[in-house]
Amino acid sequence: MSFRCGVARRDILPAKPMFLVGYPHVARISTGVHDPIFASAAYFSDGSREILTLSLDLCYLMPQTVRAWREAIRAATGIPASHILVSPTHTHSAPQTAEILMWRGDPVVPRPDPDYMDLVARRVLAAAMEARASAVDAELAVTRAEARGVGRNRIARDGPMDYEVGILFARRKADGAPLAALTVYGMHPTVLHEDSTRISSDFPHFARRQIEESLPGSMVVYHNGPCGNLSPRYEVRVVRRGHCVRGPVVLFESAHEAVGAKDGEVQGVVVGDRELRRHSSYPTRQRAPTQPGRSFAPTAWGRTRCPWHEVLTRSRGGGPHATASPTLACRASDAAAS
């Protein structure tokens, strides 16, 4: 069986200041860009069936929005709507794109901006069409890893966790060059909190960047898994200038090796003991332990805000919201930190 794969990406940054959604009751209007947000597409075909996955650096999407996008892509490419997966990364630092029950009646949260929704729809369609049109013969590998040190259960430090990272890796059949890496990992992208007014895809941006720099020619499509109460709130670090996180790279380098397994065998990747990050620490946001049946209101949590302006000014020598890289880190027993 032969496979074909193609990838494409489109910028979905707004052209004007916009409300950043993710923290109800907080009036956050964007004042700049911390890092870009994208619509990323990956196309796969085995010669008889086609599949398209789309990941968007947004917090939420409404079912009717996704249905409209799928139908537009079907009409333009012929890919069945039921074969198109669309998912937001759930960043809490992107424009408002959905009306959900949680903030219905909240006077702070506006309705989605029609002009921005139209821009995103056009960019989604363009990414989908380019991914299909650029497809080449490819080899695929499916594997897994465990990422520890990214976050924990936000209700209880030692509560249930899901460390697994699902990985689908594609390389060009002609020369073995990296082509695409899809990942599924469940974690709230909330390193940047309600006191940040910069647009950001949060830690997924830095994971993608490091993987793509390590594997030239590849493009990462990051899908958030079921993140429930999984959060980086106990693990947040500020990374020193030039010390970008290498942890995610190890996962995909291992997946790259897995493609070459003998007799088509796909090898698993298990991440173990060694820490692969260099960072400067600061006091993390504190939460009081939550008792069974206790209210989830902010007062019950005893929540305090993280002093980002102090941390970033001290660690980077810049002003508030300087471009300090959020940390996505994992451990590997068979690799040394560089």
Chain centroid to Cα 148, Å, comes to: 16
With b meaning 16 or more CB within 10 Å and e meaning fewer, what string describes 279-292?
beebeebebeebee
Domain count, the chain: 1
Please compute the mean of the pLDDT values over residues 79-106 and round it to a whole number. Answer: 93
Query: What's the pLDDT score for residue 25?
Result: 84
Residue 171 pairs with which residues in a beta bridge?
139, 178
Of the pLDDT bands very low, low, confident and very high (cuts 50, 70, 90), residue 235 is confident
CA within 13 Å, CB half, 126: 12
Of the pLDDT bands very low, low, confident and very high (cuts 50, 70, 90), residue 149 is confident
Q: Which residue has the higher pLDDT, 69 or 258?
A: 69
Of the pLDDT bands very low, low, confident and very high (cuts 50, 70, 90), residue 124 is very high
Chain centroid to Cα 38, Å, comes to: 10
CB atoms within 10 A of CB 14: 17
Block residue for tokens 């994208």 = 38
Domain assignment of residue 278, yes or no: yes
Of 233, 328, 232, 230, whose CA–CA distance to 285 is shortest? 233
Please compute the mean of the pLDDT values over residues 110-114 and round it to a whole number. Answer: 95
Show the domain range for 234: 3-316
Domain assignment of residue 64, yes or no: yes
Query: What's the pLDDT score for residue 136?
Result: 98
Q: Are 282 and 238 a contacting pair, CB within 8 Å? A: yes
Domain assignment of residue 329, yes or no: no
User: Which amino acid type is present at position 328?
Assistant: L
Residue 181 has pLDDT above 80, yes or no: yes
Residue 246 has pLDDT above 60, yes or no: no
Q: Are 13 and 36 a contacting pair, CB within 8 Å? A: yes
Distance between CA atoms of 174 and 225, rounded to whole angstroms? 32
Q: Which residue has the higher pLDDT, 215 or 336?
A: 215
Domain assignment of residue 184, yes or no: yes
Distance between CA atoms of 205 and 213, rounded to whole angstroms? 12
Domain assignment of residue 330, yes or no: no
Per DSSP, the chain holds a count of helices (H) and strands (E) of 6, 14
Q: Are 18 and 95 a contacting pair, CB within 8 Å? A: yes
Listed range (52-56, 287-291, 314-318) with the worst mean pLDDT: 314-318
Query: What's the pLDDT score for residue 210?
Result: 84
Distance between CA atoms of 41 and 49, rounded to whole angstroms? 17
Of the pLDDT bands very low, low, confident and very high (cuts 50, 70, 90), residue 139 is very high
Domain assignment of residue 224, yes or no: yes
Tens-digit pLDDT profile for residues 257-278: 443 433 333 333 222 222 222 2
CB atoms within 10 A of CB 46: 12
Query: What's the pLDDT score for residue 275?
Result: 25
First to last CA, the chain: 39
Domain assignment of residue 325, yes or no: no
Q: Give the pair of three-digit tokens for residue 148.
A: 């520890």
Please compute the mean of the pLDDT values over residues 109-119 and round it to a whole number. Answer: 96
Q: Give the pair of three-digit tokens for residue 113.
A: 């901006």
Query: What's the pLDDT score for residue 170?
Result: 94
Q: Are 330 and 271 a contacting pair, CB within 8 Å? A: yes
